[in-house]
Amino acid sequence: MEKEIVLTMRGIYKSFPNVKALQNIDFTLRKGEIHALMGENGAGKSTLIKVLTGVYTKDEGEIRIDGINDPITVRSPQEAQNYGISTVYQEVTLCPNLTVAENMFIGRGNGKVVKWKEMEKKAGTLLESLGIPARPKQQLGSCSLAVQQMVAIARAVDTDCKVLILDEPTSSLDDKEVAMLFSLMRDLKDRGVGIIFVTHFLEQVYEVSDRITVLRNGELVGEYEIEKLPQVELVAKMMGKELESLSVIKKDASAASADKEPLYEAKNLSSSETKPFDFRIAKGEVNGFTGLLGSGRSESVRAIYGADRVTGGSVTMNGKPVKITSPKQAMKNGIGYLPENRRRDGIIADLSVRDNIILALQVMKGFFHPFSKAQAEAFADEYIKALDIKTASSDTPIKSLSGGNQQKVILARWLLTHPQYLILDEPTRGIDVGTKTEIQKLVLKLAEEGMSITFISSEIEEMLRTCSRLIVMRDRKIVGELTGDDLTQDHVMLTIAGGDK
Amino acid sequence: MMKSNVSYPGQKRKEPISDTMLLMSITIGIFVVMYALAMIILKGGFLKPQMLFDMLNDNAYLIIISCSLTIVMITGSIDISVGSVTALVTMVDVMILNGNLHLFDGLQKALGVGDEFRIVFAAVMSLAIGLAFGVVQGYLIAYLEIQPFIITLAGLFFGRGMVTIISVDPQKAPQNLMDILQTRINMPLLGSPNKKGVIIPAHIEIGVVIALVILILVFILLRKFRLGRNFYAVGGNRQSALMLGVNVRRTRFLAHMLSGLLAGIAGFVFMMHVGAGNATNATASEMNAIATSIIGGTLLTGGVGNVIGTMFGVLTLTTIKAIVVTSGLRDPWWQSITTGAMLCFFILLQSVVLSRRGRGGFHLPPWLKKAEKKEGT
């Protein structure tokens, strides 16, 4: 059944300095459909949405909307609204101090006086017709997040909306609230509104969507009917691997390490950002967390390191119970953590390479017992040489180094503390291929010497090359553990996608 | 016992009280209790209605600049120049009434009107000065996006400096004009007998009437007008307000403009009350205005507040001061100390009350769960 098309985007290009964010993207939205827009981080989802809503201006391409003959140019979110394109963002963009009715009508229409009675009556009718459990006179802040989101949707719908964009609307809702939101979405769909649904929750896509458009690295991968794209294929498309053509990478069967007794073991560990999970790692083992963006892999290692507020669970190291609720305690127990965001959490940009290297050791020694300059120099030189860090001198500020060399400095910082257990979160992101291989080799060498390492990377090949055990996460839960012969790209992707679906 | 949570179809639900109303009610409650206690324990002046009226007479200007502060604080901004503007306007007005400003002197002669007409000049000039401060500060804050604190701090110094330039020495307004300006509105029914047993009628000054009219106008603006609601929206979440289509810059500009304008009026009212221009007039009154707004339930973080609460904030603050004085602690620092302590108390109270409200977090309220069940069956 071919339905009327409400929105067409053809040949959209958008680039930023150094980045081609969107290249030749086509997108069509039909009346009364829920169309999922999928892609990994940096795929171009948000850029496309922002082009459509006028936050960015496109470089090339045309946008057509039902009812207007000429291609439209959208210069601001307000203009987008006038064309009937409304957006509800992840964070609720309403005013919590005003009433529900006010939030639905403020900033709209003319007239200097607020007609409370009329406004509240209109709001009440609309809320009721959409089945939204909010009262017009209620202060918005007293509603649950889900209801606030629904009020935002009600507002959007009331402005004669043809295209409704929901940008990650479910990321802070619980299951019940998600169900409420979905029933509202289906209701709107029946009324003929075209809904663009951006999310990274695979199951939710399959629960509610009609079609899927997949983007990758700013390019269009394809547009699919939901029935014709099994979940595992969707994952393959998002990650850019054709399932059939996957070459199986054989991994040395060094899975024997799993039998060794664990160096670190956590039971029911949970933090403010994760659900409880079990985890263990043996001496000299390299394992890894894998999963799509937002699946909770970084959050898990942050919980292990005590970087987020730990809320429960028990941890043993070398068989003895320990308490790790802060990075400092983790360091005292011989755990090192190389954070995902190097620029924000890793380097101290204005300090020298030397000071950056000795930082962790200095923290452990205490700031009232500083290293002598000669000693610091010796440490720095040793590791600059050992890791082949390309820097003019150890006095050079770290910000003038390349990304790869900065990463090596952070690595040196941890190696200097001789940790028993090192966590590397995306250590190779954004660095050149040569350095990448160096770091991978280093990881394997350190493991041989007896260090336990947890490795996280978005690139599955890299994980398969280095890890002897992979823990697979989906929607913030551990959904599988792969070792030995199971460590193939096919298997990993199948597990990420959720088995046979 | 009368309370019942059962709601029948068709019956109107009672909405839970909003943050603004809650904080305001607390203030009113505390004021009433405090005044009643003062009447019972301290007796004396507190039993006479004139005590309350004198508080209003002395603080009419404070009510007006407190309205200024309430408005800008609701938008999440601040204006600390209002005290200086008040002082500047007072000084300029007194100079005009004295015929010391040649421009107005000449104008008066040209028009051939009597000295009484100088009052009109003074009133116009008050509005003009206040508006000028408001427009300039509002422009810098809203359109050039400079920190409101810095801008109005500059305004504070500038205004106070101007007062001193105009006259270092105190200036007294002519008595004949002051007689007109200080006309009392007598209320014999609320009078009380003096020592000789003669009933002295209670009275308020014109300034109080002006202040109350402004209070009501601002109340209506904040409640009924789109602009007023935009103040709340901008203060609640500026980014959201922008996304909702509120012209945030214009809204912030108008808030500051209004604040300046009201400060100008406050200067005129202050002049009516004291009848003299002085370089130290209304010193630190901007701080009192911030205090009264906060006591009245306006949040410094923006989005919550109400001028009725502010009015009671002024009354609470002045009552405390009066209690301190009548208790025999006549040294001025006692007033400062009690004001400070009280402010602390109110802010603590507010944060406790609001955080207790928020503790429910994002759980579904019980009525919503009920609705869901209905859907399910």
Helical packing angle, B307-326 and B19-41, nearest 10°: 20
Mean pLDDT of chain B: 86
Would you place residue A18 in the very low, low, confident or very high pLDDT band (cuts 50, 70, 90)? low
Task: Yes or no: say if B273 and B61 are a contact pair by the CB < 8 Å rule.
Answer: yes
Would you place residue B221 in the very low, low, confident or very high pLDDT band (cuts 50, 70, 90)? very high
- The vertex-B285 CA angle with B321 and B180, nearest 5°, equals 90
Specify the higher pLDDT residue, A265 or B140.
B140
Structure tokens at A342: 């190097």
Q: Write b or e for each residue in B238-253: b if 16 or more Cβ atoms lie within 10 A of its Cβ, otherwise e.
A: bebbbbbbbebbebbb
User: How close, in Å, is residue B304 to chain A by CA atoms?
Assistant: 7
| Mean of pLDDT values over B54-61 | 93
Highest average pLDDT, of A63-72, A424-433, A490-499, B157-166, comes from: B157-166
| Mean of pLDDT values over A18-38 | 88
pLDDT in tens, A459-482: 777 888 888 888 988 888 888 888
pLDDT in tens, B295-350: 998 988 899 899 999 999 999 999 988 888 888 887 888 888 988 898 898 888 87
Lowest mean pLDDT among A283-297, B96-110, B170-184, B350-364: B350-364
B14 touches chain A (CB under 8 A): no
Would you place residue B161 in the very low, low, confident or very high pLDDT band (cuts 50, 70, 90)? very high
Q: What strands, in cross-sheet order, belong to the sheet with A452-456?
A: A335-338, A421-425, A452-456, A286-290, A469-474, A477-483
In the predicted structure, residue B3 carries a pLDDT above the cut 50: no
Residue A67 neighbours by CB distance under 10 Å: 9
For B221, name the nearest residue in chain A, comparing CA atoms only.
A113
In the predicted structure, residue B17 carries a pLDDT above the cut 70: yes
Give residue limits of the domains in chain B.
20-31+45-184+200-354
CA atoms within 13 A on the CB side of B68: 38
Residues of chain B contacting A137 with CB distance shorter than 8 Å: 15
Which CATH code is given to the segment(s) A5-239?
Answer: 3.40.50.300
d(CA B245, CA A447): 57
Amino acid, res. B173: A
Specify the higher pLDDT residue, A416 or B11.
A416
Nearest CB among A114, A139, A147 relative to B229 is that of A114
Lowest mean pLDDT among A414-418, B68-72, B313-317, B373-377: B373-377
pLDDT in tens, B338-357: 888 988 988 888 788 877 76
pLDDT in tens, A362-412: 888 888 888 888 888 898 988 888 888 888 888 888 888 877 788 889 989
Lowest mean pLDDT among A174-183, A215-224, B278-287: A174-183
Q: What is the reported pLDDT for B21?
A: 81
d(CA A417, CA A404): 21
Q: Do A98 and B236 touch (CB under 8 A)?
A: yes
Q: Is A83 helix (H, G, I), strand (E, B) or coil?
A: coil
Q: Which of A134, A47, A125, A53 is nearest to A94 (CA)?
A: A134
CA pseudo-torsion sign B317, B320, B326, B327? negative
Measured between alpha carbons, how far is residue A428 from residues A180, A403, A433, A452 in Å?
41, 9, 9, 18
Q: Where are the alpha helices (DSSP H) in A174-261?
A: 175-190, 202-208, 231-239
| Mean of pLDDT values over B59-64 | 96
Lowest mean pLDDT among A455-464, B11-20, B264-273: B11-20
d(CA A428, CA A436): 6
Q: For domain A261-334+421-426+447-501, which CATH number applies: 3.40.630.30, 3.20.20.370, 3.40.50.300, 3.60.15.10? A: 3.40.50.300
Task: Yes or no: say if A124 and B15 are a contact pair by the CB < 8 Å rule.
Answer: no
pLDDT in tens, A231-254: 878 888 887 765 443 333 334 444
Structure tokens at A267: 């039971």
d(CA A42, CA A238): 11
Q: Which of A209, A200, A89 is nearest to A155 (CA)?
A: A89
In the predicted structure, residue A486 carries a pLDDT above the cut 90: no
Residue B194 neighbours by CB distance under 10 Å: 9
Using the structure block, give the residue that is written with the tokens 């002519």: B174
Nearest CB among B16, B235, B304 relative to A142 is that of B16
- CATH architecture label of B20-31+45-184+200-354: Orthogonal Bundle (1.10)
Q: Are strands A34-38 and A211-216 parallel, antiparallel or unpaired?
A: parallel
pLDDT in tens, A114-152: 889 999 999 999 999 888 888 998 888 888 888 888 898
Q: Which of A444, A290, A413 is nearest to A345 (CA)?
A: A413
Interface of A with B in 150-179 (CB under 8 A): 155, 176
CA pseudo-torsion sign A239, A241, A243, A247? negative
Which of B7, B13, B18 is the mutation pick for testing A, counting most A CBs within 10 A? Answer: B18
Mean pLDDT of chain A: 84
Task: Yes or no: say if A455 and A287 are a contact pair by the CB < 8 Å rule.
Answer: yes
Which residues share a beta bridge with A16? A19
Give residue limits of the domains in chain A.
5-239, 261-334+421-426+447-501, 340-418
Highest average pLDDT, of A121-135, A299-313, B128-142, comes from: B128-142
For A141, name the nearest residue in chain B, comparing CA atoms only.
B358
Strand positions, DSSP E, chain B = 171-172, 184-193, 199-205, 276-277
For A93, name the nearest residue in chain B, comparing CA atoms only.
B240
Using the structure block, give the residue that is written with the tokens 């250590």: A427
Interface of B with A in 274-333 (CB under 8 A): 303-304
Would you place residue B9 in the very low, low, confident or very high pLDDT band (cuts 50, 70, 90)? very low
For A87, name the nearest residue in chain B, comparing CA atoms only.
B243
In the predicted structure, residue A270 carries a pLDDT above the cut 90: no
In the predicted structure, residue B375 carries a pLDDT above the cut 50: no
Q: What is the reported pLDDT for A236?
A: 81
Measured between alpha carbons, how far is residue B116 from residues B98, B99, B102, B106, B340 in Å?
11, 11, 16, 15, 42
For B305, name the nearest residue in chain A, comparing CA atoms only.
A97
So what's the ipTM on this one? Answer: 0.79
Q: Do B241 and A112 touch (CB under 8 A)?
A: no
d(CA A381, CA A387): 10
Residues of chain A contacting B226 with CB distance shorter than 8 Å: 111-114
